[in-house]
Chains A and B, each alone.
Chain A
Amino acid sequence: MHPAGTLPTKGVWWRGAELYALALAVGLAGAALVHANKHPQDPPLALLYVAAALLAFPAVDRVLQAGESVLLPVTALLVAVGLVTTYRLQPHLVAYQAAWVCGGLALSVASFRLACRPVNPQRLVTPLAALLVTVSLFPWGWAWVGRGLVIRTPAEAAVVDVASELAKLLALALGVAELPREKVRGYVAAAWAAAATLWLLRGDVGTAAVMVWVVLALAYCAGAPLRSVVAAAGGFLVMGVLAYFTIPQVAERLRGWVNPWADRLGVGYPLVQSLFAMAAGGLIGAGPGAGYPELVPQSHAGFVLAAVAEEWGFSGVVALVAAYAVWTGRAVRAAGQAKVPWLRLLAAGAAALVGSQAFLAAAGAAALLPPTDVAMPFVSARGVSAAVHLALVGAVLAAPRARGELPWGTG
């Protein structure tokens, strides 16, 4: 009855411990190199933060006893790369990022426990929507909270970070709650309108694209016909063409992508610097702390792959891409093993969310797609993003474990 590997079995803990030890070795070696190359005169506090955040992973694994021996260790590896990159590019943020990771792990325990209970998923939607509206209505209050306490980014950026993470989560939660009720068309239309609003009014192409991708993946997993999914995707492309002709910011960004060298000190500057950084990295990179990734704008967030490519080399990029592929594959596997319909959709949605963001961020930095502001999950120095994705990890781990299907609308 149980799919292989989903129940705790003897030996899984030790197998996991080995992977956690390797992730810790990556984090500590990377942080030590950054310290030696960039901050030799400072006390090596960053190593303590990195160690604390990474040691929290096996502790959480032990508490959950989820029996999934790959997903959490791979997340730990991605977080290790993220903390080293944050220490390299924004050293003042590393303690906050480590704190967000620990907070996110606490959330993952909570979401795991919640998902193992007979929960009505519709109850997820109302608090998320209320939080999103509050963030939108009281941006300055939230900015103060974000800037003063933990995030330490400019006020507007803090609000946008929180709001965009909430919007993506709300799209996911709405799909999980509504799709099994044969409301596919209404759901896709509402999410499409929300994405269009984000794109047309705020110019936030990345979040809009991620939302649309998650929505279409969920609709397809819930049984929507392929032609409806293709039609919705086509509608989004049409919207993109309209945005090109009506929003100067979008047109400028697209021109900067098509030929960044035409205006290499202007609109093409980030992409040109990203490509230079990747070329400079070579096969094994300059080593953490030994390159110049700070020359790439937004290298701690949207262009983090350029920073990894320059200092960890092509091999580091391959490892990062492989880690995302394994993460997404294991989340899809968890979705396939789930017995509860809403958890099946949630795990599939989490796979789509993490996979699409990693793809958009990587393809944007490598000039395969127009660059967006999408953060690489677990790696970019956006604390709230790390916490949200770690909370989703708990639900994905719970998907194969939770038994007992309840009728929709009860619980």
Chain B
Amino acid sequence: MNEALRYVLLAALFLFLYRVVRVVGEDLRAASRELDRPWAVLLVEEGPGLSPGEAFAVRGEALLGRGTGNDVAVPDPEAGPRHARLVASGDSFWLEDLGCPGGTYVNGRRLEAPAPVRHGDRVRVGSTVFRFLQPRGPRAAGV
């Protein structure tokens, strides 16, 4: 009985390490896939608590909002705690309003449903305005 338990112990120990190595390997592969995902930059044009020219890099997906838990933390009292979401789909990015009363605007038009954003678009969250830059993505009209 004890002898069997010894081997169970060693088996569990090494199965644990094997699974950990698998998980670490998966994470490394995921990180390498992450590098292949489309990227963009949100460049601050105006807004309280942010300096014009300040930039937020976005790769894959990002949450925009007032809380520091967001990927793009906007210190703007008019922005919601989780205001909007930017998601990559294929080669382009889509912007989704998360239901805050102030709304999310792209080139002055309020978002009613998720919509694609293009290189050069102006994105407004609360009273903060960003220029969306995706040099390798689809371009806005006139850019």
A positions within 8 Å CB-CB of B:
1-5, 15, 18-19, 22-23, 25-26, 29-30, 32-33, 36-37, 69-70, 73-74, 77, 116-118, 284, 287-288, 290, 312, 315-316, 319, 322-323, 326, 329, 401-404
- Central interface residue in B3, B16, B71, by most chain A CB within 10 Å: B16
Distance, CA A322 to CA B2, complexed state (A): 26
Contact partners of B31 in chain A: CB under 8 A: 3-5
Given contact pairs A4-B33, A32-B5, A403 touches B20 in the complex (Cβ within 8 A)? no
B12 in contact with A29 (CB, 8 Å) = yes
A2 in contact with B71 (CB, 8 Å) = yes
B19 in contact with A19 (CB, 8 Å) = yes
Task: Give the total number of A-B pairs whose CB atoms are below 8 A apart.
Answer: 106
- Central interface residue in B15, B17, B31, B70, by most chain A CB within 10 Å: B17
B16 in contact with A37 (CB, 8 Å) = no
- Central interface residue in A2, A36, A116, by most chain B CB within 10 Å: A2
Give B27-63 interface residues, CB cut-off 8 Å to A: 27, 30-31, 33-34, 56-62
Chain B residue total in the interface (Cβ 8 A): 35
Report the minimum CB–CB distance from A288 to chain B (whole Å). Answer: 7
B12 in contact with A26 (CB, 8 Å) = yes
B34 in contact with A22 (CB, 8 Å) = no
- Contact residues of A: prevailing secondary structure: helix
Distance, CA A117 to CA B67, complexed state (A): 10
The 13 listed contacts between A and B (C-beta, < 8 Å) are A1-B56, A2-B59, A5-B30, A22-B16, A74-B20, A287-B2, A312-B13, A315-B13, A315-B14, A319-B17, A403-B70, A404-B69, A404-B70
Distance, CA A15 to CA B58, complexed state (A): 27
Contact partners of B111 in chain A: CB under 8 A: none
Tell whether B24 is near chain A: CB-to-CB under 8 Å: yes
Tell whether B8 is near chain A: CB-to-CB under 8 Å: yes
> A23 contacts which of B1, B6, B16, B24 (Cβ < 8 Å)?
B16
Contact partners of B5 in chain A: CB under 8 A: 29, 32-33, 36
Contact partners of A69 in chain B: CB under 8 A: 23, 27
Distance, CA A222 to CA B68, complexed state (A): 24
Distance, CA A176 to CA B33, complexed state (A): 33
Distance, CA A37 to CA B1, complexed state (A): 11
Contact partners of A116 in chain B: CB under 8 A: 68-69
Identify 9 new A-B residue pairs, CB closer than 8 A, beyond the known A4-B27, A26-B13.
A1-B59, A2-B59, A4-B33, A25-B8, A29-B9, A77-B13, A77-B16, A312-B10, A403-B69
Contact partners of A326 in chain B: CB under 8 A: 20, 24
Tell whether B73 is near chain A: CB-to-CB under 8 Å: yes
Report the minimum CB–CB distance from B124 to chain A (whole Å). Answer: 20
Distance, CA A69 to CA B69, complexed state (A): 20
> A404 contacts which of B10, B12, B23, B68 (Cβ < 8 Å)?
B68
Distance, CA A290 to CA B71, complexed state (A): 54
Report the minimum CB–CB distance from B2 to chain A (whole Å). Answer: 6
Chain A: CB-nearest residue to B42:
A1
